[in-house]
Amino acid sequence: MKEKKTPKLTLVGAGPGDPELLTLKAIKALNEAQVVLYDALANEEILQHAPYAEKLFVGKRKGCHACTQEEINKLIVQKALQKGHVVRLKGGDPFVFGRGSEEIEYAESFDIATEVIPGITSAIAVPGSKGISVTKRKVAESFWVITGTTSNHKLSKDVELAARSTATVVILMGMGKLPEIVSIFKKYGKSSTPVAIIQNGTRKNAKHGFGTINTIEKVVEEEQLSSPAIIVIGEVVRHSSKLLEYFEDEFFEDEFLFQNLDIVPNFSN
C-alpha cells in the first residue's frame, strides 16, 4: 500500500527574476515537492529544481488571471491533502505584495503544516542590479516600498505621503498609474527628481529607462517600457556608477543634478 504523504505547504520566494538568485533552501524545498503552484513572476527555469513535482501555473497579471486568489487557496489545500508537499512559488518575496499571508492562513485553517522560505525581493534587488542603492549615506536615510495598484485598483495613498519625504520611493505594479505618480511628485516640487524604470529586472530580457519626473513619461514611450517593471524615484538614482554616463548629458542642462554628490564626476576625460 502506497504511503500517504503528510500535507504541507511551503511558501517559497522565487527572487526577482534571475534563476541564480534563488536560495539554497528554496532549491531543497522544490526538490522535495510533490506539487508546485507557480505564479507569473516566477522564472520558469526555476522549475527544473522540482523534477518529481506536478507543476501548475496559477499566475495573475493585469487583465489576465489563470486563477483567482480564492481558487489558488482551495487548490493549495486540495493538492496538499491529495499529494502531500505543496510548494507555492511566488516571485520576489512572498510577503511583499504577494498575498502569502492569506495562503498561509487558509492552509492552516485546515490543519496543514506550513513553512515560509523568504526570497530576495525585487524592490531592492532590481534597483541594485543597476547600481542603485535604495539608501545612501547623506542622500537617503530610508526607503518606501509601495504597491502602485491597491485591491480596489486605485493608486495607493501612500505615494502622496512618500512624495513629501526625502526617502527613496520604490513602486511595484505602478506602470499603469505612472501619469498619476508623476503628477503627485510635481505637486510637491519634485520635477527634477531622478527616476529609474526597470522592466524584467535581473532577467536576460531586462530593459530600463532613466530620467526625471519631468521626462520619465517620454522615456517610457521612447524605450517602450511596460509591466512588469519597478519604478525607483529619488536622489539615489543619480548616484549609481552605472548611470553616470546618462546623467553626464543631463548635467550641462541642469546643474542641480549633481549638487548633492559627495564627489562631482570628472567629465573632461
| Chain segment 187-245, per-residue pLDDT in tens | 999 999 999 999 999 999 999 999 999 999 999 999 999 999 999 999 999 988 776 66
CA 156-159-207 angle, to 5 degrees, is 95
Question: Is the pLDDT assigned to residue 169 strictly greater than 80?
Answer: yes
The stretch 16-23 carries a mean pLDDT of: 97
Question: Is the pLDDT assigned to residue 1 strictly greater than 90?
Answer: no
* Least confident residue range of 28-37, 137-146, 151-160: 151-160
Angstrom distance (rounded) from CA 249 to CA 111: 60
The stretch 31-39 carries a mean pLDDT of: 97
* Least confident residue range of 46-55, 105-114, 168-177, 242-251: 242-251
Highest mean pLDDT out of 4-8, 101-105, 256-260? 101-105
Question: Is the pLDDT assigned to residue 107 strictly greater than 80?
Answer: yes
The pLDDT score that the predictor gives to residue 263 is 41
* pLDDT tier at 247, thresholds 50, 70, 90: low
The pLDDT score that the predictor gives to residue 67 is 86
Q: What is the reported pTM? A: 0.87
The pLDDT score that the predictor gives to residue 261 is 42
The pLDDT score that the predictor gives to residue 34 is 97
Task: Provide the residue type at 6 as one letter.
Answer: T
* pLDDT tier at 64, thresholds 50, 70, 90: low
The pLDDT score that the predictor gives to residue 198 is 97
Q: What count of Cα atoms within 13 Å lies in the side-chain half-sphere of residue 97? A: 20
* pLDDT tier at 248, thresholds 50, 70, 90: low
Q: Cite the active site residues.
A: 39, 60, 173
% of the chain residues with pLDDT over 70: 86
Nearest residue to 217 via CA among 243, 183, 171, 257: 183
- SS3 string of the chain? CCCCCCCEEEEEECECCCHHHCCHHHHHHHHHCCEEEECCCCCHHHHHHCCCCEEEECCEECCEECCCHHHHHHHHHHHHHHHCEEEEEECECCCCCCCHHHHHHHHHCCCCEEEEECCCCHHHHHHHHCCCCCCECCCECCEEEEECCCCCCCCCCHHHHHHCCCCEEEEECCHHHHHHHHHHHHHCCCCCCEEEEEECCCCCCCEEEEEECCCHHHHHHHHCCCCCEEEEECHHHHHCHHHHHHHHHHHCCCHHHHCCCCCCCCCCC
Nearest residue to 61 via CA among 41, 36, 87: 41
The stretch 249-256 carries a mean pLDDT of: 43
The pLDDT score that the predictor gives to residue 259 is 42
* pLDDT tier at 5, thresholds 50, 70, 90: confident
